[in-house]
Amino acid sequence: MALSILTAGLISAPVSAQPLYPTADPDPFYGAPADLAALSPGDVVRTRRIDTGLYVGTEGWQIAFRSTNSTGQPILGMTTVLMPAGVRNPPLVSYQALINSLGSQCNPSRSLFNGELQDGVGAMLPIGRGWAVSLPDYLGPNVAYGAAKLSGMVTLDSVKAVRKVSELGLANSPVALAGYSGGGMATAWAGALQPAYAPDLKLDAVVAGGIPADEEQMALSLGFEPHPGFGLAFAAAMGLEREYPARLPVSDQLNENGLWFREFTHDACRRFLLFHGAFRSAEQMAASKSLLDSTEAHAVLRENSLRYDTGVPTAPTYFWQARYDTLTAFDPVADVASRYCKAGVPLQFHPVDVAEHMTGAVVGFADAWNYVESRFRGDPVTSTC
């Protein structure tokens, strides 16, 4: 999320452009009921059985539930559950998949079945171990990419909802959270928020890798220059505007080209954003190139950066991070790990000597799944602190 875009959006402008939200899913199952505010976070709104298609050996459910956005307002959450066929009362893994998108069709409840979910195969690994897997649409109904705190709350509420569906038989199952990159951010935030936001939910393991732990640093490093990942940065700016429209009116300062690109990408998924945003820049999109820092922009970025959050998980936690990753920096995660250790968190932190971001997922997940399995077995919790 380019700070140059975010700060430009907070300079007074003659034109007011409202946030551009994703096209609503036409399926009434995704519609929020009128009495949503009367429900508690994690309460089930509706459920349905689904055909799991190519995910052989599974039975599928979708669950709509009440959750909360970053300003404390009720929202409708959604998760998709894949149950291992023939296994009674399995452990439950909430897998926060790679979304990094702006369109509703990019959420796991759709992307599991339309080819957009790039780590769908990875989500099947727990199924092979006999575990149930829940894949929440953790960016919420507005697909607010970049809103990390939101993603943590939706993740926690999705687990609470899944455990309440009696047909699944997961009410007393041990629970682990897992994810990488954007999914790692949602997972890590859920772990940090759980003691205060969902104290009644016991987590047996939290495993996360490739965590974008400092959104402010990421924004500053991008600046105005052309960048191969600009499409995702632009999408994050638009996603944060969706979540914080009053505090981050980014669209107000987009020029004609920027408004066109906003329209062009407002329903786009990760691959589309990467391809069409490659080597574009904030300079091409913003009406002003002012470098004036915005206090409000910095505040929002820090509010969604695990590095600056004061929450501390109580669940056994496993982080891994590539030392030389140019996409998600190592130092912010190392800072978080140090803070957790000082607070007595049962943490295992494993630096990985690789540079490419997605290679870090391949290298780290095998041991992460083994860590989850050891927690499900009830093995003694160990720490690298």
Helix, strand or coil for residue 276?
Answer: helix
Give pLDDT < 50 ranges for the chain.
Answer: 1-4, 7-15, 291-292
Are 244 and 304 in contact by the 8 Å Cβ rule? The answer is: no
How many domains does the chain divide into?
Answer: 1
pLDDT tens sequence across 295-342 = 888 899 999 999 999 999 999 999 999 998 888 899 999 999 999 999
**What contacts 109, CB < 8 A, 6 or more positions away?**
62, 78, 79, 80, 135, 137
Domain hosting residue 259, numbered range: 1-385
Residue 34 CA to residue 36 CA, distance in Å, equals: 6
Burial class (CB in 10 A: 0-12, 13-18, 19+), 164: middle
pLDDT tens sequence across 40-51 = 999 999 999 999
Angle at 173 between CA 168 and CA 174, to 5 degrees: 145
- Specify the pLDDT at position 11: 39
**Domain containing residue 381: CATH number:** 3.40.50.1820
